[in-house]
Amino acid sequence: MQKRKLGKSGLEVSAIGLGCMGLSYGYGPATENQEAIKLIRAAFDRGVTFFDTAEAYGPYKNEELLGEALAPVRDKVVIATKFGFEFNAEGGQSGMNSRPEHIREVAEAALKRLKTDVIDLFYQHRVDPNVPIEDVAGTVKKLIQEGKVKHFGLSEAGAQTIRRAHAVQPVTALQSEYSLWWREPEAEIIPTLDELGIGFVPFSPLGKGFLTGAISETTTFDSTDFRNIVPRFTREARKANQALVDLLGKIAVEKNATPAQTALAWLLAQRPWIVPIPGTTKLHRLEENIGAADVELTSDDLRDIENAVSKITVKGDRYPPHLQARVDR
């Protein structure tokens, strides 16, 4: 597996990471614990050194899972986790909370769950409109000075928020959605990261599974799968968006790759400091995703993709309104 550095931070990780959320949360029933551990360790055995989790995934269960799975190789991997929410007794999110004292509480609890003495990359999960970003960055800066955290990250933050945070504590990475079917970061975000030397970690790089070609208009999701409430996953939207998957399939055949590998290779080709974190619960999908690092897209390939994609309009919002409201602008 090739390695990449997240911006100017010096933090080196595998070119493709593993987003671990779906093992515990979000995409139907949680994977059985030993099976999930097996998958995480299989990723490491195949060269993945960058693992993404959050207290919100479960909540808490995903961090505990990673802590157990990666304990034998802790010094050889980079673990990213997140703060920024509060949870009720039933485990549901009860609002945002990035107050300094809460960030500290989350850090201490995450260290225990992850069975480690330092968090490699600590993201603010969503920008909290009630807490100045300078206070958030300053709190993480202190945690870094205390040796409890190594790097500071933001998730779904807007360009101005990134600049304000970076001025207090250098931001190592931004984690936001980015893929062939969600390209909004190209307008403001990527130029800002370019200028400041910040790495970019795209989540949902395969469009929550849609770009793999494994989902069609007739696919049904488990009742606990959050794609049931995503406008882009209505039956009508899936039918309309099939054109993008069909295009990926054609390009993939020419490259002797799969649609998923082509979509990931496209992301890797955008900047040398972009590290996508596709998630999966299946070993064959894991191996397929890792294989994307070996798919070479030439400048001609990229131009052809650009020309073809520009003629396709993706239908449906990527979040329902209540979740869209949490995205910083």
Catalytic residue among 25, 57, 60, 178: 57
DSSP strand E in the chain: where? 3-5, 12-14, 18-19, 50-52, 78-83, 85-87, 93-96, 119-124, 149-155, 171-177, 199-203
208 backbone dihedrals φ, ψ, rounded to 5°: 55, 35
Q: Is 123 a catalytic residue?
A: no
Instruction: Cis check for the bond before 59: say yes or no (omega within 30 of 0).
Output: yes
Tokens of 176: 């936001």
Helices (H) and strands (E) in the chain, counts: 11, 11
- Count how many Cα atoms sit within 13 Å of the Cα of residue 213 in the half-sphere of its side chain: 18
Roughly how many angstroms between the first and final C-alpha of the chain, as a whole number?
35
**Integer angstrom CA distances of residue 49 from 205, 212, 285, 307:** 18, 23, 17, 34
- Count how many Cα atoms sit within 13 Å of the Cα of residue 199 in the half-sphere of its side chain: 26
Tokens of 202: 């795209």
Active site residues: 57
